[in-house]
Homo-oligomer: A and B are copies of this chain.
Amino acid sequence: MRSSKTVNIRDVARAARVSAGTVSRALSGSPLVNEETRAKIMEVVKALGYAPHPSAQRLSTGKTFAIGLIAPFFTRPSVTERLNGAVSLLVKNHYDLVIHDIETPEQRQAGFLDIIRRERVDGVLILSMRIHDQDAQLIKDSELPVVLVDTDHPALAQLNRLVVDDVAGGRVATEYLLQLGHTRIGFIGDYVENPLGFVSSRNRRSGYCQALEQAGVPVRPEYYSEGEHGRPFARLQARQMLSQPMRPTAIFAASDTQAIGVLEAARDLALRVPDDLSVIGYDDIEFADILQLTTMHQNLAESGRLGVQLLLDSIANPQLQPIYRVLPTELVVRRTTAPVSDLSQ
């Protein structure tokens, strides 16, 4: 008949013939405890299978050893890959991870309010979420270490931020197509106003426009399409764009996911890639390699890892100078891009 109550620090104290305070000190590695008694205590701890009660510890110390992670977890492969990096480092540091998945606009509100409370977690990592003005205020008031990865807000310059220069990336991608001789270059992206507020698509589009303008190529509305994010939508958008009389000879998609939709559209219309149509994506998710998609590479997992590192650092040392870092992006040429050919005209 074993008692169902779990063993607590007083049980250990009693068995080791010391006080609870001493057990606590012994366990926390305080130097103020005799080596013999420490040994004895450890022995008892082991024998009884004691482990401290996390909530009690947290209540007493005010530290949670948990960090909060706010992200649209499963909406996009690029997010998943960033998460991967974040989680791996967290695990290594024995931090609990309290996750808040944001998939709908309503969850946004709740998520921010709920997690940005000192008592729940020691710090918060926000990943790929557009930050609204009111959220920014909340974050500012919270006095909780927060780091931003793949997102930013003008009112939060005092935070650690890891951002991606999507404008530059969009420019590089487009310049590459121009360099290949393309001038009829389409863009397939998200709705500029999308419910979750990803802004990457918009920024990539800005880069696209910049590159065209700089090259003296007019930005034509019939070569620009926005739609809901996702492969099937992109496929539709692309099919429409490619069915025009003077169809584009190249398409820059705001994400690899969408680029895959474009590839499907090309197949639908019996257009050969890259002979008839060049396609370039963004993110370099694993699929890009499989499909031999030319794309803009960014080190997704590394960005997550770095974000966690920054967060843990600033939890340990709140006075640390905040870091603002623009993560590098790089063109990876594979098999979906080629020089414009007369045939494709």
A residues whose Cβ falls under 8 Å from a Cβ of B: 4, 6, 51, 53-56, 58-59, 64, 66, 73-74, 80, 83-84, 87-88, 91, 96-101, 103, 107, 117-120, 143, 231, 260, 264, 287, 290
Known contacts A64-B55, A80-B80, A119-B54; A99/B100 CB under 8 A: no
Known contacts A83-B74, A119-B54; A98/B97 CB under 8 A: yes
**Does more than half of chain A's interface fall in helix, strand or loop, or is it mixed?**
mixed
Q: How far is the CA of A48 from the CA of B191 in the complex (A)?
A: 39
A51 CB contact (under 8 Å) in B59, B100, B117, B264: B117
B-side contacts of A99, CB under 8 Å: 87, 97, 99
Give the most central of A55, A96, A287: most B CB within 10 Å.
A55
B-side contacts of A143, CB under 8 Å: 4
Q: Which residue of chain B lies nearest to A91 when distances are taken between CB atoms in the complex?
A: B101
Q: Determine whether the beta carbon of A87 is less than 8 Å from that of B73.
A: yes
Known contacts A6-B118, A98-B97; A107/B91 CB under 8 A: yes
Besides A55-B59, A66-B98, A87-B101, 14 other CB < 8 A contacts?
A: A4-B143, A53-B119, A54-B120, A55-B58, A55-B64, A74-B80, A74-B83, A74-B87, A88-B103, A91-B103, A97-B97, A98-B98, A260-B290, A287-B290
Determine how close the nearest CB of chain B comes to the CB of A254; give it in whole angstroms. 18
Q: How far is the CA of A83 from the CA of B74 in the complex (A)?
A: 9
Q: Which residue of chain B lies nearest to A115 when distances are taken between CB atoms in the complex?
A: B96
B-side contacts of A54, CB under 8 Å: 119-120
Q: How far is the CA of A74 from the CA of B88 in the complex (A)?
A: 9
B-side contacts of A83, CB under 8 Å: 74
Q: Determine whether the beta carbon of A100 is less than 8 Å from that of B107.
A: no
The 30 listed contacts between A and B (C-beta, < 8 Å) are A4-B143, A6-B117, A6-B118, A6-B119, A53-B119, A54-B119, A54-B120, A55-B56, A55-B58, A55-B64, A55-B119, A59-B59, A66-B98, A73-B87, A74-B80, A74-B83, A74-B87, A87-B101, A88-B101, A88-B103, A91-B103, A91-B107, A96-B98, A97-B98, A97-B99, A98-B98, A99-B99, A231-B290, A260-B290, A287-B290
State the 10 A-B residue pairs at the shortest beta-carbon distance, nearest first: A55-B58, A74-B84, A55-B59, A53-B119, A55-B55, A87-B101, A97-B99, A96-B98, A91-B101, A56-B59
Q: How far is the CA of A54 from the CA of B118 in the complex (A)?
A: 10
Q: How far is the CA of A98 from the CA of B136 in the complex (A)?
A: 26
Determine how close the nearest CB of chain B comes to the CB of A8; give it in whole angstroms. 10
B-side contacts of A96, CB under 8 Å: 98
B-side contacts of A231, CB under 8 Å: 290
Q: How far is the CA of A88 from the CA of B287 in the complex (A)?
A: 24
Determine how close the nearest CB of chain B comes to the CB of A49; give it in whole angstroms. 9
Q: Which residue of chain B lies nearest to A80 when distances are taken between CB atoms in the complex?
A: B80
Q: Which residue of chain B lies nearest to A87 when distances are taken between CB atoms in the complex?
A: B101
Q: Determine whether the beta carbon of B100 is less than 8 Å from that of A91.
A: yes
Q: How far is the CA of A56 from the CA of B107 in the complex (A)?
A: 25
B-side contacts of A56, CB under 8 Å: 55, 59
A287 CB contact (under 8 Å) in B55, B97, B103, B287: B287
